[in-house]
Amino acid sequence: MSNIRINGERLWDSLMEMAKIGATEKGGVCRLALTDLDRQGRDLFVKWAKEAGCTITVDKMGNIFARREGRNPSLPPVMTGSHLDSQPTGGRFDGVYGVLAGLEVLRTLNDLNYETEAPVEVAVWTNEEGSRFAPAMVASGVFAGVFDLDYGLSRADLDGKTMGQELERIGYAGDQPVGKPVGAYFEAHIEQGPILEAEGKTIGIVTHAQGQRWYEVVLTGQEAHAGPTPMPIRRDALLGAAKIVQAVNKIGLDNAPVACATVGLMQVHPNSRNVIPGRVFFTIDLRHPDDEVLSKMDRELRAAIDEVVADGRLEAKVEQIFYYAPVPFEEGCVNAVRAATAAAGFSNRDIVSGAGHDACYLAKVAPTGMIFIPCIDGISHNEIEDAKPEWVAAGAEVLLGAMLERANAGSGAAADAA
């Protein structure tokens, strides 16, 4: 398939057009899941997909599927996709690149009047980021049977608005059941790390994804006046939280080089400058590609919290709200990415994903593979996130080649390529 090329300029222009929706002053985007801006991004994708001749379906979790029919409609589709929602200070490529690279694959097939054996589809997964509604990747998780539909629709943001309510409000509460047969799934994504750029590699062939554990912690002490209350008798919940933040960082360092441990959200009550904090809510994110090590990090975390609670005369409620084990991607899909990369002549290396992706849940119900391209300085979840047009085009060409191999498996269609 090395003689088929996508239109890199068209793909780049589409990315820049989508980036205008929710654009921020620093050059990034803020398109939180199921906001009006997310609706605008969805509407634009649906418009483009219809212009490409696709049929559109939306399931009850708001996942969108743009389908280009194949020679044999009875075969399960070969699917690609990612997400359009972003972090509050997100970039122009995280998630959206995978969606629009998939759209460019369909556009290229149209340009060539190329008929695949199996149908091909591009998916837009709801709330991948988990920024507004926790946990992350909840809609692809419902698709894969990890969560049930009621759980997914009942996830609420900090204002108490649920995903089900917001899907109805923005017009993306679909009528299709969540989940269906998928012949193979591929996801293209920026690396969100520095390895590919540092090594001068254009394509990352993703073999595994790290396991993750997310926690929500409520630490309770006692509010008191900041002036008259002596230091030795204080039950300062924020002080306890600070010690746990330091412990979380130490757990990440102690399990180097591939462990990650982060506190990313904190709410202090009553949040008054002259009141000792009596309650703190915060989140913890632990990651590692080895499930045994990830479990050890869990034990270390709980021991550290117990010690802080005892020393500070505090109370703690610790809830693990999200877990999945490290994910090995399917050998056939990994090899399809490898073959497409070799056919196109791109420099490459095998790589493990440090971030979670919808592909991690799709891997539970379909053969799955991922394609990484570099991002400048490895920066992501940041408004200055950036990538070069040639990297963007290269990843989409590999995606096209891998999808064609699986969509034409067992047929003579590959020999008919233009």
Residue 140 belongs to a domain with what CATH number? 3.40.630.10
Q: In the Cβ-directed half-sphere of 255, how many Cα atoms lie within 13 Å?
A: 25
Query: Are residue 194 and residue 341 in the same domain, yes or no?
Result: yes
Query: Are residue 16 and residue 41 in the same domain, yes or no?
Result: yes
Count of domains for the chain? 2
Query: Are residue 14 and residue 126 in the same domain, yes or no?
Result: yes
Annotated binding-site ranges for Zn(2+): 83, 94, 129, 189, 381
Scanning the structure block, which residue is given the tokens 């219809």? Answer: 50
Closest CA to 125 of 361, 380, 391: 361
Q: Last residue of a domain, which of 324, 342, 374?
A: 324
* Integer Cα distance of 144 and 187 in angstroms: 15
CA dihedral 10, 13, 19, 20 (to 10 degrees): -130
**pTM higher than the cut 0.95:** no
Q: What string of pLDDT tens digits covers the 418 residues of the chain? A: 446 889 999 999 999 999 999 999 999 999 999 999 999 999 999 999 999 999 999 999 999 999 999 999 999 999 999 999 999 999 999 999 999 999 999 999 999 999 999 999 999 999 999 999 999 999 999 999 999 999 999 999 999 999 999 999 999 999 999 999 999 999 999 999 999 999 999 999 999 999 999 999 999 999 999 999 999 999 999 999 999 999 999 999 999 888 999 999 999 999 999 999 999 999 999 999 899 999 999 999 999 999 999 999 999 999 999 898 899 999 999 999 999 999 999 999 999 998 889 999 999 999 999 999 999 999 999 999 999 999 999 999 999 999 999 999 865 444 344 3
Structure tokens at 161: 């608005």
Residue 14: φ, ψ to 5°: -65, -40
Residue 399 in contact with residue 392, Cβ under 8 Å?
no
Write out the H or E segment, with its range, that includes residue 402: helix 389-407
* Integer Cα distance of 172 and 164 in angstroms: 10
Residue 3 falls within a domain, yes or no? no
Query: Are residue 42 and residue 181 in the same domain, yes or no?
Result: yes
Annotated binding-site ranges: 83, 94, 129, 189, 381
Residue 195 falls within a domain, yes or no? yes
Query: Are residue 318 and residue 176 in the same domain, yes or no?
Result: no
Which residues span the domain enclosing 20? 8-210+326-408
* Integer Cα distance of 162 and 158 in angstroms: 10
